[in-house]
Structure 1
Amino acid sequence: MEDLRWILDMKQLEEKAKETQKGHHSIYKVPPYLSDLNKKAYMPQIVSFGPYHHEDPQCKGMQEHKLRALFQFVKRSGKPIERYKSELEKVVNQLVDSYDELDKPRKSDSDPFLCLMILDGAFVLEIMKTATGKSNDYPPDDPIFGDHGNLYYVPFIRRDMLLIENQIPMLVLMTLLHVHDQKPHQAEDKKSDQGTKMSSSEQRPAGKKELPAATFVPIEGKTTQDAENPRRTEHNINTRPPWIPREVEEDLKKLVLKFFFDHGDMKVGEEPCLHLLDLYRKTMLGGDGGATPTTTNKPKSWHQRLLDLCFATKNDDDDDDEGSPTLEIMRSATELDEAGVDFKRLKTQNINAITFYNGVLCLPTLVVDDHTESTFLNLMAFERLHVGTKNQIASYICFMDNIIDSAADVAILHKQGIIQNAAGSDKAVASLFNQLAKEVPLDSESSLHDVEKHVNDYCKQKLNQWRADLCHNYFTSPWALISFLAGVFLLVLTVVQSVYSISDFYRK
């Protein structure tokens, strides 16, 4: 049994409470209550990044390729490898604090930890550069960085880069890229600036202290006091240091976006990103957290308002208290289709672009492949574990799980191009979303709640249901339409004939 007598010492208790409350971590070990549902989804398949899975046997084969990548990376830059280490030493405390479960030897001796950061960081940058065509100094027949590796290994490496336990801080990648791309004259200017600062500090009067080298620039919109307070600023541990130009951070983000998305409509804003998984998540949200999904309604014409007035029906929930929040459950795609809701594909993958517009539900494109499950599970795990992060990804999964109940629902979305199925049958895709939504708590105040509510309100209107029945029963094929028009024509002729007969009767 654990000895808990130390809790009687208020000083120790206070230190432990402060340590737990720091909230500097951004790379987490997935707790069993999450990982037990699908352990493989959180484990790297072929390559490890960072300390958590460095010793995993399935990742050992990539070690020699990491060494080759590091050699090529350092050789191309023309800088000594010690230069990379010295730059990372300035922020070693922030890098160590990024990990929530780091063993004591790594915390006490920073050299092995920094060497691991250099090795893994260089490999990440080399993979992204070669896969996107930014670097071509590897032979075409290279097993990892050539055409062969791009076809057979990069998809699995890309998948392993999006695991919450398999991250390295964005600050590592920024620092390595900055040193690598720095021109020789820039390095000399930096040395002279440092010499000037040292001489000026010697002449500084007593009581005036210079800011430490690891002081970070404030986040946009934050005051300096907020940026220096770790409890006020969520991302302060990975904010771009002042000695790294903003262009380096922007170039790194562009490289990551091209590697993961390979098209130009995705973007990420100026908000600092903690690691690749965080950047991927912010990109899916449209950058800087994204906009909130909206419902827009075009003004109705006079005849539409007249029809609504004539056929208006009282909904069962009209008497409900509007002040009390209700949890809206979206109907399946099949039910929505039968109720007259049309689906439209958005060209973007931004999940915050979801809108409902006069009976048209606009959804972003979603490519479903063998790695979709792992990616979404890790994104949702990050939302759960990182305090201050909202639940947009989890809300989107619940939203799609409500729409997709069966293979028929997937078929409707696939027909509209919303789901691009590269994972197998429609039934497999439906099962995938049902599994993803397991143990995901529902949030009645999620960003998609208003969309679900307006869609449900639209489906409850009898006029929309009758219009949908008319379309499904008579407008599904040319022959059905011809039969319907013929029936209407005969009905009109019968009415006209009756009118003339009555008119002739009164004339006589």
Structure 2
Amino acid sequence: MASPTGPRPTEESLVIDTDRLSRLKQSTEGDLWTKHSIYKVPPYMFHPKKNAYEPHLVSIGPYHHGKPHLRSMEEHKHRALHHLLKRSNKHIDDYRKMLSDVLQDLMDSYEQLDDKWRDDRDKFLQLMILDGIFLLELLCSYSGIIKDYGINDPVFSFHGSVNILHYIVSDALMVENQLPLLVLERMVAVESGTMVEKDKFMQNYKILNNLVVGFFIPSMKPVPEIGEGLHVLDLVRKGMILGPPANTSRHLPSDVIRSASDLHDAGVEFRRSKTESIRDITFSNGILSLPIFIVEGGTESFYLNVLAFERLHPSTGREVSSFIAFMYGLINSEKDARLLRSLGFIQSTLGSDESIADLTKELARDMYFDPYSPLCEVRDALNLFYKKSMKQWSKRIREWRSNLMQNYFKTPWTLISVVAAAFLLALTMTQTYYTALAYYNNNPAPNPPTTPPH
């Protein structure tokens, strides 16, 4: 029988990981956790759609490297390497040397790096080079910076953009399928020769910001100043937020936000926000300003991975989590989705309003407001407005009832007269009905002729 506190530890589970202890001795626990930025999603966070965190076409980084269904893309990674070396007149050793200096930092970026990579550092370095060049070529080819791929290239061409690009974009935004941006920064430094002094680069991250945000969020022009990022997913998340997390006072838990339909019925007016930032949500003077919520095929996978990253990376805010919790409050039913879509606040390719409501419900599973989020202020203000509006309606109903009683039912005899009149009217209608029924029963309609008249 199992122990009430869980399965008993086996002899194998009690073996001490001396390598891990050695790494902990070299660095404090806090320092080690700070270096982590790429995570595996733990089982307790698994979404019912477990493949939401599993790449479908291309592996980036060590977590999914070598899986059978992803091997076909390895050939294209080697082609990208060949194109880059030929075009830049560089040698692969130039990239190898540049990354060797930061190899330990790159390895520490992964929270759960298998021992096979730690034992074979050269293999890990090759993986960083190959995957890094693939990403860089992808960004540069679709931005128009490089044009040495064929028009029928299966990946780096318009043909590729039509057929497989959406799979690559989805895979490149998965929390387990990330590469430290430090890899790309070093590669840009090799190509552009921007290294000045020791390991100091001339704002290569700005070049990468333009490439990454321009590729994943093409509507965002010009690219705002969002600072350095940890990896592609982190940069795209920052692009959605448009700035660092806001410092606000802590809010105590409140009841959930009212739905869009309830708020609309209570007199709330909906307007477009001035920007598309998910933080640009305000409520003032009865007007709720919202950005457009775009819902399409890859929306669920993208948001699930951003939400997972926010939960796993300690120094990352919870802006996206609070946004999803807020939108779920607004879109609580098919009726709410239909209202917001009719007002232009939802752009969807999913087809039905029910699908939109189901999506927000799935995304909001186990989500909650960050108590420090500015959206808490918006939520509380909306709830206060709704309660005041309902009180006003209740007051008007009471006043109407009071005026009715005072003006028309001043004495009990008035009420009795009205009731008696209504009763007599009902009796009269009933008598009329039965009289007409008796007439038609006694005078049935003639049967229709069996043959047409001549």
Q: Shift of the alpha carbon at 1:334?
A: 0.7
1:452 corresponds to: 379
Query: Structure 1: which amino acid aligns with 2:69?
Result: Q
- Tell me, yes or no, if the aligned pair for 1:89 and 1:114 is still in contact at 8 Å: yes
Q: Which residue of 1 aligns with 2:361?
A: 434
Q: Give aligned pairs, total.
A: 382
SS at match of 2:132: helix
How far has the Cα of 1:5 moved from its partner? 8.3
Amino acid at match of 2:32: K
Q: Does the alignment pair 1:411 with 2:338? A: yes
Flag structure 1 segments of 5+ consecutive residues without an equivalent: 194-212, 214-240, 295-322, 470-508
Cα distance in 1 for partners of 2:122, 2:283 equals 54
Find the counterpart in structure 2 of residue 158 from structure 1. Answer: 169
Which residue of 2 is the match for residue 396 of structure 1? 323
The answer to whether structure 1 residue 84 and structure 2 residue 11 are counterparts is no
Cα 1:387–1:414 shift into 2, 3 Å: same
Quick one: which amino acid aligns to residue 358 of structure 2?
A: S
In 1, Cα distance between the equivalents of 2:356 and 2:47?
Answer: 22
Paired residues of 1:293 and 1:352 also in contact (CA < 8 A): no
Partners of 2:77 and 2:134 within 8 A in 1: yes
Q: CA deviation at 1:85?
A: 0.6
Q: Secondary structure at the match of 1:362?
A: strand
Measured in 2, the distance between the counterparts of 1:370 and 1:324 equals 35
Residue identity matched to 1:122 = I
Residues in 1 aligned to 2:225 and 2:286: alpha-carbon distance in whole angstroms: 32
CA-based RMSD: 2.9
- Residue 321 of structure 2 aligns to a residue whose secondary structure is helix
Decide whether aligned partners of structure 1 residues 136 and 417 sit closer, same or farther in structure 2, where only a CA change above 3 A counts. Answer: farther
Structure 1 residues 424, 277: CA separation in 2 closer, same or farther (over 3 Å shift)? same
1:70 and 2:27 matched: no
1:47, distance to aligned residue in structure 2 (A): 0.7
In the alignment, structure 2 segments of 5+ residues that lack a partner are 1-9, 397-454
Equivalent position to 2:202, from 245, 251, 255? 245
* 8 Å contact from structure 2 (residues 248, 373) kept in 1: no
- Inter-partner Cα distance in structure 2 for 1:428 and 1:252: 36
Letter in 2 for 1:106: W
The correspondence of residues 351-362 of structure 1 with structure 2, limited to 5 A, is: 351-362=278-289
Aligned to 2:374, the other structure's residue is in SS state coil
1:338 match? 265
Change in 2 beyond 3 A, CA 1:441/1:337: closer
1:383 match: secondary structure: helix
Q: 1:258 to 1:32 in 2, by over 3 A?
A: same
Aligned residue among 100, 106, 124 for 2:135: 124
CA drift of 1:402 comes to 0.5
After superposition, give the CA deviation of every residue in 1:72-95 in whole Å (9 maximum; x if it has no partner): 112111111110110000100100
The answer on whether the counterparts of 2:229 and 2:235 sit within 8 Å (CA) in structure 1 is yes
Output the CA distance in 1 between the equivalents of 2:234 and 2:216.
Answer: 13
> Which secondary structure does the structure 2 equivalent of 1:124 belong to?
helix
In the aligned structure 2, how far is the partner of 1:446 from the partner of 1:102? 33
Q: TM-score, normalised by structure 1?
A: 0.70
Query: CA contact under 8 A between 1:406 and 1:427: conserved in structure 2?
Result: yes
Distance of 1:337 and 1:143 partners within structure 2: 49
Rate the CA distance shift 1:151–1:18 in 2: closer, same or farther, 3 A: same
Q: Which 10-residue stretch deviates more, 110-119 or 435-444?
A: 435-444
Partner Cα distance (2:61, 2:379) in 1: 40
User: What is the distance in 2 between the residues matched to 1:367 and 1:347?
Assistant: 16
2:213 paired residue number: 257
- Is 1:172–2:172 an aligned residue pair? no
| Alignment match, 1:45 | 56
C-alpha deviation, 1:22, in angstroms: 2.0
Cα distance between partner residues in 1 of 2:22 and 2:88: 48
Question: Which one has the largest radius of gyration?
Answer: 2
2:365 & 2:239 partners in 1: Cα distance?
A: 24
**Distance in 2 between the 1:49 and 1:274 partners?**
14
Q: Is residue 369–residue 376 contact of structure 2 (8 Å, CA) maintained in 1?
A: no
For residue 242 of structure 2, the aligned residue among 278, 283, 286 is: 286
Instruction: Give the whole-Å Cα distance in 1 for the aligned partners of 2:15 and 2:141.
Output: 56
Residue 445 and residue 347 in structure 1: after superposition, are their counterparts in 2 closer, same or farther (change >3 A)?
Answer: closer
From 22, 32, 35, give the equivalent of 2:32: 22
SS at match of 1:49: coil
Q: In the alignment, what sits opposite 1:462?
A: 389
In the alignment, what sits opposite 1:107?
118
Q: How does 1:468-483 map to 2 (within 5 A)?
A: none
Aligned to 2:442: none
Change (3 A) 1:97 1:463: closer
Q: 1:155–1:292: structure 2 CA closer, same or farther, 3 Å change rule?
A: farther
Rounded to whole Å, the distance in 1 between the matches of 2:14 and 2:359 is 44
Given that residues 401 and 434 in structure 1 are in contact (C-alpha distance below 8 angstroms), is that contact kept between their aligned partners in structure 2? Answer: yes
Give 1:127-206 correspondences, 5 Å limit: 127-182=138-193
Q: Distance in 1 between matches of 2:255 and 2:131?
A: 45
Q: From the superposition, tell whether residues 266 and 420 of structure 1 become closer, same or farther in structure 2 (CA, over 3 Å).
A: farther
- Are the counterparts in 2 of residues 29 and 101 from structure 1 also a CA contact under 8 Å? yes
Q: In 2 relative to 1, CA 36–436 (structure 1 residues): closer, same or farther, beyond 3 Å? A: closer
Q: Letter of the 2:63 partner, please give it.
A: Y
- The residue type equivalent to 2:155 in the other structure is I
1:372 is matched with 299
Contact 2:217 2:236 in 1 (8 A): no
Percent identical residues:
40
Q: What SS is found at the alignment partner of 1:356? A: strand
